[in-house]
Amino acid sequence: MTDAVVVVALLAVAGCATAAVANRDPARQALILAVLGTSLAVLFTVLQAPDVGLSQLAVGSALTPLLIMLSVRKVRRRSAHGKDSRQ
Amino acid sequence: MKTRTTLLAVGEVLAWWAALVVLWLMLISTVYTLEWVVGACAAGLGALVARAGRRAAVSRR
Amino acid sequence: MNGWILAATVVLAVGLGTTLWGVATGPLGRRVVAQNLSTALVCPGLLLLSQGYSRTAYVDLALLLALLGPVGTLVFVRLLADELGDNPPQAWGPTWVAAGVGTVVVAVLCAVTGPGRAMVKLLVIGALLVGGNLLASRALSGGFPGVSRD
């Protein structure tokens, strides 16, 4: 019966990962990745590994989305710049 | 005037320090001497950073 | 299996299920709202899990999530400001529901814990959770004009 919460966490992780793969836009993928990080932390907690969950929360909930969004912004700005200079 | 500014700065850092030490003592599980020492040092650093952050936020406005 | 873990399972299933559905489909504004609500709903679940396993150290996970969840949402608000600018997402109903869930869970756990430092820690987590959630929602709905000036 305690396994019910493990099943819920596993289903959430599997659903998030599938949704992250199924999306094409990097900004939306970053949003799903943030939720995936949170559900992974829940999974680690219910598997009795709260230390791993703590580092997963610290990295996955704010740091990874920040890095991805900064890279997306830089790439978009550079491509917009290139188009302007060519025209 | 200058003494007043210094006193205000020291008072602000002390207020931040006291608040951060109280927060540290609330968040730890067991209280003993080493925890007090580490908490006081961390709260000192945090108080300096907090004052710098507040001044940066105020001067930007 | 005890009641705490059952309650945590329900909170996590409902919270993660709805936010996964919200973040995987629909327009961009709704996705950001769903990401914000996922942290606001998982945090009470983690608190309930800590009580269910009777390990007070697990509370630190909820503390970190209550601190970093709104930070993550503010990252998205800041960096998606151009896409969200014309119609900022307004979702005060779900926000207040999440804040209510957090408040109820923290209040129940405080009543169980009894007065002491552990209760103060729970109250700090609750204040961070509800305050950060409301702040992030206000920032999402365009409550802080002039933040994105570049």
Domain ranges of chain B: 2-60
User: Does chain C reach chain B with at least 3 CB pairs under 8 Å?
Assistant: yes
Q: What pLDDT, on a 0 to 100 scale, did the predictor assign at position A38? A: 93
- C57: nearest CA partner in chain B: B29
ipTM score for this prediction:
0.88
Sequence-ordered alpha helix ranges (H) in C25-116: 28-52, 59-79, 81-84, 92-113
The reply to whether A58 touches chain C by the CB within 8 Å rule is yes
Q: Which pairs count as long-range contacts for B29-35, CB under 8 Å and 24+ apart, including other chains? A: B29/C56, B29/C57
Residue A64 CB neighbours (<10 A): 16
Distance CA C126, CA C107 (A): 9
Residue B61 has what pLDDT? 66
User: Alpha carbon of A80 to those of A71, C46, C88, C95: distances in Å?
Assistant: 14, 43, 24, 36
Q: Choose among C95, C127, A24: nearest CA to B26.
A: C127
Contact A45, C37 (CB under 8 A): no
**Residue burial B37-60, b: 16+ Cβ < 10 Å; e: rest:** eebeeebeebbeebbeeeeeeeee
Distance CA C71, CA C68 (A): 5
Residue C41 has pLDDT above 60, yes or no: yes
Nearest to B29 among C56, C63, C120 (CB): C56
> With an 8 Å Cβ cutoff, are C124 and B27 in contact?
yes
Compute how many other C-beta atoms are within 10 angstroms of the C-beta atom of residue C46: 31
CA dist., res. B14 & res. C141, Å (int): 37
> Contact at 8 Å (CB) between A57 and A42?
no
Nearest to C72 by CA among A41, B40, A86: A41
What does the pLDDT read at residue C150? 46
Mutate to test the interface with C, among B20, B21, B22, B26 (most CBs of C within 10 A): B26
* Record: contact C57-B25, CB cut-off 8 A: no
Sign of CA dihedral C121, C124, C126, C129: negative
Give chain C's count of helices (H) and strands (E): 6, 0
Instruction: Give this prediction's pTM.
Output: 0.86
pLDDT digit string, tens, across residues B6-61: 998 899 999 999 999 999 988 888 888 998 999 999 999 999 999 999 999 888 76
C149 touches chain B (CB under 8 A): no
Mean of all residue pLDDT scores within chain C:
87
How far separated are the first and last CA of chain B, in Å rounded? 24
Average pLDDT over residues A6-11: 93
pLDDT in tens, A14-64: 999 999 999 888 888 999 999 999 999 999 999 999 999 999 998 988 889
The phi, psi pair for C3, rounded to 5°, reads -65, -35
Instruction: Sketch the domain layout of chain C as residue ranges.
Output: 3-140
CB contact under 8 Å between B29 and C57, yes or no, is yes
